[in-house]
Amino acid sequence: IIFSIKQISNRCQSHRETQSGKFYEITAHLQANTSNLSFRLIFLIS
**pLDDT tens digits, 1-44:** 455 566 656 655 554 555 555 555 666 665 555 555 555 655 55
* DSSP H or E stretch at residue 34: none
Q: Where are the domains of the chain?
A: 8-41
Whole-angstrom Cα distance, residue 39 to residue 18? 21
Q: Which long-range contacts (CB under 8 A, 24 or more apart) does 42-46 make?
A: 44/9, 45/9, 45/12, 45/13, 45/16
pTM: 0.20
Contact, 44 vs 9, CB < 8 A?
yes
Residues 6+ apart with CB under 8 A from 18: none
